[in-house]
Structure 1
Amino acid sequence: MDIKQLRALVTIAETGSVTKAATLLHIVQPAVSRQLRLLEEDVGTALFSRGRYGMELTESGEIFVEYARRALAELDRARSEVQPAAGVAGVVTIGLLPSTCDLLASELVARVARAYPAIRLRISMGYTGHLQNWLELGEADAALLYDPKPSPTLQVRPILEERLWVVGRPDAGFKAESPVELRQVAGEPMILPNAPHGIRSLVEQTCASAGIELSIAAETNAMSVQKGLVLGGLGITILPSIAIMDDVARGLLSAAPLSDADLLRKIVLALPNTRRVPVAVRCVVDLLVDQISDAVRRGQWTAARWLGSDTDIG
């Protein structure tokens, strides 16, 4: 088994075609087929089957390709750190929560490009459970997480705390300057994420403590669907302000902060504790933290309270 065979495996899996894989790898098709054959002989099982839509991973292939991706990612990280370079270089994967992507992703890419042009940045979006899993598996280098479960495999750093907001159509009359209690809207049809999503857990804990019973109209883990159902008049929802301020500014939604003391979410920056953090990752993380502190200071991250040190926020 060698690196060429692993790259052939991953590329075929991503393209679904030996021919397309050969084009991307800049080698002839028979060479790709031979690398795959040698790999299958080495592991002792078929990794692909020919399906209606091209090369399809077998069950064994699905398992093996995930390990191959991680192995290649680690080798790429190692190569970028030991090769001579004019500056900091490497591939860095940052995980962002869906509610933070619109505010952070584009600006982070621009900041990294200006400060470290030799760094290739990858942005992965997911909910806390997914992001934490990717960190532990080595598929992400750092991530923003919402109140993650304690884990010895992660080092976490509190970044900010923000209040949750109740969100409805404009005719719901919610206003930023008029906080409401969850009890006041509990009788309305509620659109919430599926359990055990972080916001859902937080809302349910508050309801249990206060003896509140919600009327759940629909459940979805897609934030765009949450807002779409609200726009369609099917209920109200609960989201962090960062997720809906643009919609409120455009008059598409109305929103008010929830005054319940427990309805605060804490966002932390997480890095793996089980492997060395490369210089390139630390450089990107520093830029991300600076960017978030700037957003809080300028009021772009509405209703957020900075939890970093004074040196972080300048």
Structure 2
Amino acid sequence: MALSFKQIRYFVATAELGQISQAAVALAISQSAVTTAIKELEMTLGVDLFQRMPYGMELTDTGRRFLSHAYEIMAKMEEALSLATPQMEIRGTITVAATYTVLGYFLPYHLGRIRRLFPDLTVKIHEMSREAIEDGLLGRRYDMAVLLTSNLSNLEIASETLLSSTRRLWVCSRHPLLQAREVSFELFVDEPYIMLTVDEAAQTTQKYWPNAASRPNVLLRTSSVEAVRSMVADGQGVTLLSDMVYRPWSLDGKRIERINPSLPIPPMDVGLAWARDAEMTPIQIAFRDYFRQALQIQQGRI
């Protein structure tokens, strides 16, 4: 049986998320498709890549070694697919602003690929708040921005959403809510809440909390994602955050689980922004088109 790129993608998603059900949600496919792909991959390789545990899928030592190769395979495949689209010669400089979350959890990988695809292009990055980015785009201090488009407020700013990251409830691995058939806001409204404050996360949480009469029972407000991760994993509280910043383990090795609340929560949208009245240069067009194609490849649409 031949190894396929689809199997690699499904394996990586399961390895990163720790559960077949969560990998299936992220890939927008059935759980059975993920299970079958992983079984076929293990049969092809003749080794076990995962240990099936009560709380999910844990990589074996062989699985961890294979994961590094899988990342290389995916990166090479993405670069190979990018060659299918003729690239015009791009040289010069583009000044790009980015917010904290985007710079920490989304942009670095793409910056490396852009440098390899356009070796004569210099990308100058500035980490700024959303308000400062909007002001800088209108003042032409920045050519483009990569930020949470769901937070944009200025109608003079044009934007294009590249991906939507689902928000879920984060709890520790032993939390009683994991046994509930349906988790409404009422079930966790009194739980100690660990509030992330960067990138307007606190203001966003207040928007999708069900009503003004019930506000989160905030135990801590912090700009540190790792502090949120550690406190949730330790059972000190819960939080609502997006899949983009999720990691299944805290720094001290405790597991974090995710739950889909019964009340739908708006996703965290990530994308590009620029001044609406600005005419795009060839460099800006190439920058935008890179992200369009890269995200299509990652989401399996190419």
- Scaled by the length of structure 2, what TM-score is found? 0.58
- 1:276 corresponding residue in structure 2: 279
Say which of 289, 293, 297 aligns to 1:290.
293
- State which structure, 1 or 2, has the greater radius of gyration over its C-alpha atoms: 1
* 1:146-172 CA-partner distances (Å, limit 9, x unpaired): 323442431112333332111133333
Contact residue 128 and residue 146 of structure 1 kept, 8 A: no
Greater mean deviation of Cα atoms: 208-217 or 109-118: 208-217
2:241 aligned counterpart, secondary structure: strand
Match of 1:154 in 2: 157
Equivalent residues of 1:174, 1:255 under 8 A apart: no
Other-structure match for 1:90: 92
1:286 counterpart letter in structure 2: D
Residues 69-105 of structure 1: CA distance to partner in whole angstroms, max 9, x if unpaired? xxxxxxxxxxxxxxxxx93112223344444445533
Query: Who is 1:119 aligned against?
Result: 121
Matches of 1:167 and 1:271, distance apart in 2? 33
Pair 1:296–1:144, CA change in 2 (3 A): farther
Q: Report the CA distance between 1:255 and its aligned residue.
A: 1.8
SS at 1:247 equivalent? coil
Q: Give the superposition deviation at 1:187.
A: 0.9
Asked whether the equivalents of residues 150 and 270 of structure 2 are also in contact (C-alpha less than 8 Å), the reply is: yes
Choose which of 217, 228, 243 in structure 1 pairs with 2:219. 217
User: Aligned-pair distance for 1:252?
Assistant: 3.2
1:21-51 deviation digits (Å, cap 9, x = unpaired):
xxxxxxxxxxxxxxxxxxxxxxxxxxxxxxx
Mapped to 1, the partners of 2:156 and 2:227 lie a distance apart of 33
- Structure 2: which 5+ runs fail to align? 1-87
2:138 corresponds in structure 1 to 136
TM-score normalised by length of structure 1: 0.56
Structure 1 pair 119–259 and aligned structure 2 pair: CA distance change class (3 A) = farther
Give, in angstroms, the shift of residue 120 of structure 1.
Answer: 1.1
Q: Aligned-pair distance for 1:127?
A: 4.8
% of aligned pairs identical? 12
Q: Distance in 1 between matches of 2:110 and 2:261?
A: 30
> Is the contact between residue 193 and residue 199 of structure 1 (CA under 8 Å) also seen in structure 2?
yes
**Offset at 1:283?**
1.0
The alpha-carbon deviation at position 232 of structure 1 amounts to: 5.2
Contact 2:102-2:148 at 8 Å conserved across structures:
no
Aligned pair in 2 of structure 1 residues 184, 129: CA closer, same or farther (>3 Å)?
Answer: farther
Change (3 A) 1:255 1:113: same
Gap change, CA 1:253 and 1:94, over 3 Å in 2: farther
**Match of 2:264?**
261
Partners of 1:98 and 1:108 in 2: CA distance: 15
- In structure 1, the partner of 2:35 is none
* Letter paired with 2:145: A
- Structure 1 gap segments, 5+ residues each: 1-85, 298-312
Partner residue, 2:238: 236
Flag the 1:264–1:191 CA change in 2: closer, same or farther, 3 A: same
Distance 2:212 2:264 in 1: 11
Matched AA of 2:96: I
CA RMSD of aligned residues (A): 3.4
Identify the residue that residue 206 of structure 2 maps to in structure 1.
204
Q: For 1:187, which of 180, 185, 190 is the aligned residue? A: 190
Change (3 A) 1:162 1:106: closer
What's the CA shift for 1:215?
Answer: 0.7
Whole-angstrom distance in 2 between the partners of 1:129 and 1:227: 27
Q: How many Å apart are 1:211 and its aligned residue?
A: 4.5
Q: Give the SS at the match of 2:194.
A: strand
Work out the CA distance in 1 between the residues paired with 2:136 and 2:186. Answer: 37
Displacement after TM superposition at 1:265 (Å): 3.1
SS of 2:166 mapped into structure 1: strand
Post-superposition shift, 1:173?
6.1
Q: Note the alpha carbon deviations across 1:124-148, whole angstroms, 9 max, x for none.
A: 4455334334433434322232323
- After superposition, the Cα gap between the structure-2 partners of 1:277 and 1:200, relative to the gap in structure 1 and judged at 3 Å, is same
CA contact (8 A) 1:142 1:281 kept: no
Q: Secondary structure at the match of 2:89?
A: coil
Q: Is the 8 A contact 1:174 1:254 kept in 2?
A: no
CA distance in 1, matches of 2:123, 2:177: 39
Residues 271-296 of structure 1, C-alpha deviation per residue, up to 9 Å, x if partnerless? 12243332212212211232233333
Letter of the aligned partner of 2:167 in structure 1?
Answer: L
* Pair 247,89 (structure 1): closer, same or farther in 2 beyond 3 Å: farther
2:108 matched residue in structure 1: 106
